[in-house]
Each structure stands twice: as structure tokens, then as C-alpha cells.
A and B are shown apart, each in its own frame.
Chain A
Amino acid sequence: MYKRVFFHALLSGALAAIAGIVYYRIYFFATEADFSKVLNPFSITGMSVFVCMIASFIYFGLVKWLNEKGEIIFNFLFSVISFACVMVPISLSLPLDIKFPELFPGLAVPMVFFPALAWMTVRPLFGRK
């Protein structure tokens, strides 16, 4: 039962990681700002998979408990939590040896939406039940 949700989460995490790494490279190319000490392809992949795996358990629990309404509530929750997480990179204090900290939100803020975006993008591939 959970197997389908697991692969959904895994694929979402991989897709979010790819999007994050591509954006990371584009952002570095555009600004030359190096934030690799706090955000790099390794941490982007880890965070993407971690978030999607956590989401998979919440999704599984909600669908099991509330059936069809579970998915509606899950999507709503995932979007709202992603939006609230915008505050994390904005309020984060970076190590002082990192230059241009004011450019960090421009890199990290879009990334907080990638797991939710990837999850909803691949959702049709995993059927209704």
C-alpha cells in the first residue's frame, strides 16, 4: 500500500533535486555568489528527498484516514507549509565569511517550493488508488 506512495515520494524528491541543482547552477552563473558552504548539490538532493519522504508519510496517513478528502487537505497543507518556509532562508544568518548574504534568499526561496511542485507534477503518474 505504502509502496506506491514511497515511489511517488522518491521520484518527487529526485525531480525536486534536479530542479534545485539546475537552478543552483544558473544562479551561480548569473551572480557569481558562492553559497556552497550552506547550499550545494549534495545538500539540495538530501533536503529534497528528506522533505518528500516526510510528505509521503503525512500523505499516506491523511489518505488512509480521510480517503479522497485526505489528498485535498494534503495538497493544501503542502502548499501552505512550503509558502511559510519562505521565511527560513530570509531569516537565516549565514557564516560571516560568506559574501553577499543578501543574495541568498534569491537562491533558496524558490527552492522551498520545488518539493511541492515536483510532488504535484508527478502525482498523475501514480493513479488514484
Chain B
Amino acid sequence: MKKIFYPLAGLALIVTSAFTVIAAQDWKIADTYSVKFEGGDPSGEFRGLQGTINFDPADLASSKFVTSIDINTINTGNGMKNTHAKSPKWFDAEKYPLIKFTSSSISKAASGYEAKGILEMHGVQKEITIPFTFDNNTFAGSIEVNRMEYNVNTAEPDHGAQKFKVSISVPVTK
């Protein structure tokens, strides 16, 4: 028994310490993040960003983003537009309360990094690539999203913009 105790203890320590290494790569989203969308009229931001960010520039293979945005936190600066955006005609916040992004792979790009993954919005899942940088503990990137591809008010293609530039800036802490 004594012969296997120390090897087992050693193994246990290895496993436990491995988890601490993984935990050290987890980042917490700071409150000063911003998720802004621009499409002329309307433009605005989302406030309800949540998720787990596991990112290590030296180990991109095990890095992963699992994030979501609460549709109910949309702010266009206009109460009437906020209410309309949450209604069944647009995002249908009651039925689809979250916009989700889950990365499948993160790789190095010419300038910064690229996260490939599934963006789920309004019940539609599409594979997208988000180019981003990571400097001074801040993730920054932008993508173009076409609401028509996610069946968001397809009945009125000319009501407001179809394509939106989404700019994301997420300061993180350990």
C-alpha cells in the first residue's frame, strides 16, 4: 500500500496542478466592456455580455470563448426603438433572449488573432470568423452582421439598416 501511496499522491498533485494552470488562463470580463453596433439608424450598444474567456496566446489550441449577450440590454438611446428591437418583429427577446458565440478554434492571424465559431442569433446559427487583437489585457475586434441572414425582420428589409458593424472591446482581468 505504501508503495503506491506516493505515486498516487504525485499523480493527484499533477492532476490538481493541471487544473490550476487551466484556471490561470481564464479571464474575467471587466465592467468597462463595450459591444456597439453601427448601422446608421439605429445604432447603439448591448450591455449584457457574459461568458467564459479562456485565452492563452501561447496555447491557442486550448483557448476558447463561450459568450452570450442578453437582447434585453439593447440600448439605441431611444426608448421606443429599444422596445421595438425586443419585440417579436425584430429580435423576439422573449423567445430568443440571447445572442451566443462559441468559438471552435482560435488561430494566429497576420495582425492579431482569429476566432472561428458559431454565432447564434434569433434561433439561427451561422459559422463566422471574428478577427481580434489582444493588447493590454483587452480583446478588441469587429465584424459585420447582416440581420437578414439571421431572419431578423425579413419582412421589412428596408426598415433600418440590414448590415451592422459590431465593434467589441472587452477588457479582462485574471
Contact = CB atoms under 8 A, between A and B. Distances in A.
Contacts of B79: 100-105
B80 A95 contact: no
A114 B78 CA distance: 23
A106 B44 CA distance: 21
A94 B77 contact: yes
Interface stretch (A16-24, A58-66, A85-93, A117-125): A85-93
B81 interface: yes
A94 B78 contact: yes
Is the interface on chain A under 10, 10 to 19, 20 to 34, or 35 or more residues? Answer: 10 to 19
Interface in B81-110: 81-83
Interface residues of B: mostly helix, strand, loop or mixed? mixed
Question: How big is the B interface, by class?
Answer: 10 to 19
Contact of A102 (B36, B42, B82): B82
A102 B84 CA distance: 11
Nearest to B81: A93
B56 interface: no
Nearest to A103: B79
B44 to A, nearest CB: 6
Interface of B: 36, 41-45, 75-83
